[in-house]
Structure 1
Amino acid sequence: MIRNVLGAVLALAGAAAAVLSPFRDWYDGRLGRHYRLGDLFTGTGATGTQSGGLFGSLWLPFLCAAVVTVLGVVLRSRTLVALAGVVVLGFTVLWMVRVFQVTDSLAVAGDGSGLDVGVALAAGGGVLMLLGSATMSGRRRMRGREPEYGAPDSSAPDTWPPTREPGPSVQTSPWPEPEGDDPYVGPDNPGPHRGPPSPPSG
């Protein structure tokens, strides 16, 4: 329980950082939402020109990753949370590759001309999601129920009362116990204390 709570906190914090990152500076004073999503998959590289709107920028995959993270936390699914972290880190690394193709540099400069806090938020958010996934214990598998014993029936007359010990169950005689010291005493069974039966008369 504690591991699930701690993992959920880490995952949600990472999702919040990833969603916030496009609204901070990424490179040379440009916001992350100014980078078009389509430029990451073409040979033109990432130019940082504002076009395509918010849903056409880096913010879209990060928003989808945040939604998947929330679902993973609610369902206690480590796989969904880990998948969201991989998506955030994947798009961050892909952006860095495209920017390097254009600028030939990915330095961190103190004057804001290099990598900025937005990239750190995105990368840190992805790492937090992966840490949250690793911390969560996930769902516990339900153990199989033990078989329930029913009332005795004609097909199994010697299974009641139920017993869990191996071997045949103990069954008492269905006939009532006779009173006295000599059970089942009769003409054909005189018992241990009687003599042989007398012959019939003439």
Structure 2
Amino acid sequence: MEKTDVYQLEIKRKRTMAILMKRLLDIVLSIIGIIIALPIMLVVGLCIKWEDRGPVLFIQTRTGKEGQPFSIYKFRSMKVRNEEALKEEHIYDWESGVPDTFVFKQTDEIDPNVTKVGAFIRKTSLDELPQLFNVLLGNMSMIGPRPEIPAITTHYNEQQKQRLLVKPGITGWAQVNGRSDVTNGEKMDMDYYYIQNQSMTLDIAILWKTIQVVLTSKGAV
């Protein structure tokens, strides 16, 4: 076997080990997270139900790794609304990819459709806790680019599709460096950085910084 072949096999082995280690870490952290957060999730669920008697969870289709759709779980933070009306809010006609200036969330605007409980759990990121089950199921990771809705990802150009090379995460490099306060172009650049430099060390650093960012309630993950 030539040295080049040995080198390529070694690279492949290291990549496989890195993927397995990341998955193992995801399973361990998601189980620990679910156990610790279970009392909080029960209280949040009861508060949501008590406010308007609507469903506790908001389940939405997002785009996962390699463009595969999956159902993401969040605590419902908005009033119960017609599904068709929600779809009409996210109709885009971009032809050359998602514009760099695009911002999906406007954090300085008060949405009248957000409930009182919803406003609190959004500010504290408690609405994201059910995604620990997404991680345990394997369609998300603890760390990775945030999953977008298909209405946006279907417009990705070839470069933007790089975001879909890895599993989406509950938190990521972009979220701890601006969260929802950044433009699409800035977010993309940070996601590219993560994909090109991902490592266990970087993942741990992002997890630690996520805790700090959430505690300051800056923006929304």
TM category (shorter chain) comes to under 0.3
Larger Rg computed on CA atoms = 1
Compare the two structures and name the one with the higher helix fraction.
2
More strand by share: 2
TM-score (norm 2): 0.23
